Structure 1
Amino acid sequence: MEIKLLGPLVATANGTSIAPTATKPRQLLALLAISSAEGVTLPLLIEEIWGNDPPRSAATTLQTYILQLRRLLGDALGPDSAHHVKAVLATRFGGYLLNLRQGEVDVHEFERLAAAGRVALREGDPLAASRLLTRALSMWRGPALADVRLGRVLEIEVSRLTESRHGALENRITADLRLGRHAEVLGELTALVRQHPMNESLYNLYILALYRCGRPDDALRAYRELRRTLTDRLGLEPSPRLQRLHQAVLCSDPALDRLDRLEFAEFDNLAG
């Protein structure tokens, strides 16, 4: 099986689509796939699909949706698959469990690669980190569950995944900066700070990339731009970390051009 949630919903078995077209069964499949490692209880499924006002027939209707999913799965797997279908979409733990293997859900593969990339970056291997995080980010085809109606439970999951994507992107850019790829990431950072004008982590990377590209005036201008935005909208000054970076740029501190892990730590990890 293959289930993709990082974009529009795609679900196939033996090359045949098993994604329902109806709204509520699509929600059900999406939540089961995201939670395939531990399963989903009946109350949580009801909350996702009906919120605080479920009908009296909610549990019975859910059973009907499960039967629809099993029928789609059985059609894809073939006429002799009835027992296997109930093992794949099993009744467990007061709810249901979608039994999938590692790599069959893109969300789980993204999280595995992103975690490995974080570890590689933390352990001082930016080349491995960049490769792992690039692979993780390439799995995204648009906003998570772009064509699935989101109830309260899936909304939380999508918010979590969106934050994970942003974190993986920042880590990948950090790794690329540690590899000396400041010119390559500058255009990407320019777009990102326009999209997220109060994100200090992105501005930290952006200012550093500008400086390393021989543009200290633009780096200082970027700092002033962020400071103005923060003070106007929130009444806050930039963080001490960014203020130290600003001072380093003002002084043309040689540490800003050095790339090894030790020297990054010297300036409070200026690149992440």
Structure 2
Amino acid sequence: MRISERRIDIRIHLLGPLRIFCADGELAPVARRPRQILALLLLNHSRVVPTAALIDELWDGPAPKTARAAVQIYVFELRKSFAEAAGLSMDAVGGEILRRVRNGYEFVAEPAWFDLQSFRRGEQSGMAAMAAGDLIKAARDFRAALSLWSGPALAGVEPGPGIRAEVAGLEQSRATMLSHRIELELRFGRHREILGELASLVSHDRFNENLHAQFMIALYRSGYRARALDAFHRLRKDMVGRFGLEPSPGLHRYYQAVLTSDPELEEMPARPLPGELPVLCP
């Protein structure tokens, strides 16, 4: 059986600092450019990354005439690291792990564990469960997927345009999943359990209206009406001071509902899930 057709003892962590464990040790290229190449190949697992894209990733501005040869050297160094860590020949690594294909390279081996693959599976499973109305399973899948993160994706890797774009997409997927998971927790009546988490989230993302709406709802349902009103006022002060803008009409309506102790707030969703009609929005 070819190595690429089975899982091998490589464990890859991208959702946080880049870490790769191979056999009984850690494979950790420390030079900037080999780390960039490896990160971009892993983000595009089983897809060819053209050499031109790797060159664009490594050099900000015009690349030197030696760029293509330099990429070949960096790939050789990565293959050597994998060969030494996994106890494989360079030919095996070059043919079955980090492969030269047409005009570029691809990482083709199926790792024993890869946090990015697990995250994507959890995302797909959770979204499918939510669409089918199985909100308990959706919340469980989202919790498991989000628990894979240990910090910003690829922390410690200097990003070029390719990595930056991939990481931005990942962070957006994470933020969307987090918003869905918090909404589900609120619908399950777990508002007290997530208050601390929401307080931390809004302190780090001061202009995120969705998070603030969820925080206000959680505070109100937990008996902290004054704190819910204060959360709105802090957001409004920040937005007016920074951008000269008021919070959206939808968030103003949440504020009015809290201000008047609208009984609908006890059951009202903080934000709609995919496929639902907007709530308290224009």
TM range, smaller chain: 0.7 to 0.9
Is residue 99 of structure 1 aligned with residue 105 of structure 2?
no
Contact 2:12 2:113 in 1 (8 A): yes
What is the CA–CA distance in structure 2 between the aligned matches of 1:77 and 1:232, rounded to whole Å?
55
**What letter matches 2:278 in structure 1?**
D
Contact 1:73 1:85 in 2 (8 A): no
Q: How many corresponding residue pairs?
A: 269
Identify which of 53, 59, 62 aligns with 2:62: 53
What is the aligned partner in structure 1 of residue 37 from structure 2?
28
Is residue 178 of structure 1 aligned with residue 178 of structure 2?
no
1:1-272 correspondence to structure 2 within 5 Å: 1-79=10-88, 82-83=91-92, 85-101=94-110, 104-258=113-267, 268-269=278-279
> Counting helix residues as a fraction of each chain, which structure ranks higher?
1
SS at structure 1 position matched to 2:133: coil
Larger mean CA deviation between 25-34 and 108-117 belongs to 108-117
What is the CA–CA distance in structure 1 between the aligned matches of 2:240 and 2:269, rounded to whole Å?
34
RMSD: 2.6
SS at structure 2 position matched to 1:17: strand
**What letter matches 2:49 in structure 1?**
V
Q: For residue 259 of structure 1, report the CA deviation from its aligned partner.
A: 6.7
Deviations 1:180-239 (A, max 9, x none): 000011111112112122110110100100110012222222222222322232222222
Larger mean CA deviation between 219-228 and 193-202 belongs to 219-228
What is the CA–CA distance in structure 1 between the aligned matches of 2:110 and 2:250, rounded to whole Å?
43
CA distance 1:260–1:126, shift in 2 (3 Å): farther
SS at structure 1 position matched to 2:151: coil
Provide runs of 4+ in structure 1 moved above 6 Å.
Answer: 263-267
Deviations 1:123-144 (A, max 9, x none): 4333222211111111112222
**What letter matches 1:214 in structure 2?**
G
What is the aligned partner in structure 1 of residue 4 from structure 2?
none
What is the CA–CA distance in structure 1 between the aligned matches of 2:124 and 2:147, rounded to whole Å?
15
**What letter matches 1:63 in structure 2?**
Q
Contact 2:13 2:19 in 1 (8 A): yes
**What letter matches 1:158 in structure 2?**
V
Contact 1:18 1:69 in 2 (8 A): no
TM-score (norm: length of structure 2):
0.85
What is the CA–CA distance in structure 2 between the aligned matches of 1:112 and 1:258, rounded to whole Å?
31
Deviations 1:146-183 (A, max 9, x none): 22222222222223322322222222211111110000
Q: For residue 33 of structure 1, report the CA deviation from its aligned partner.
A: 0.5
Q: For residue 59 of structure 1, report the CA deviation from its aligned partner.
A: 0.6
Deviations 1:106-126 (A, max 9, x none): 223213313332343444333
Unaligned regions of 5+ residues in structure 1, if any? Answer: none
Larger mean CA deviation between 139-148 and 156-165 belongs to 156-165
Unaligned regions of 5+ residues in structure 2, if any? Answer: 1-9
What is the CA–CA distance in structure 1 between the aligned matches of 2:195 and 2:88, rounded to whole Å?
55
Contact 2:12 2:111 in 1 (8 A): no
Identity of aligned residues (%): 39
What is the CA–CA distance in structure 2 between the aligned matches of 1:40 and 1:207, rounded to whole Å?
45
What is the CA–CA distance in structure 2 between the aligned matches of 1:137 and 1:216, rounded to whole Å?
29
What is the CA–CA distance in structure 2 between the aligned matches of 1:189 and 1:16, rounded to whole Å?
38
What is the CA–CA distance in structure 1 between the aligned matches of 2:232 and 2:277, rounded to whole Å?
17
SS at structure 2 position matched to 1:11: strand
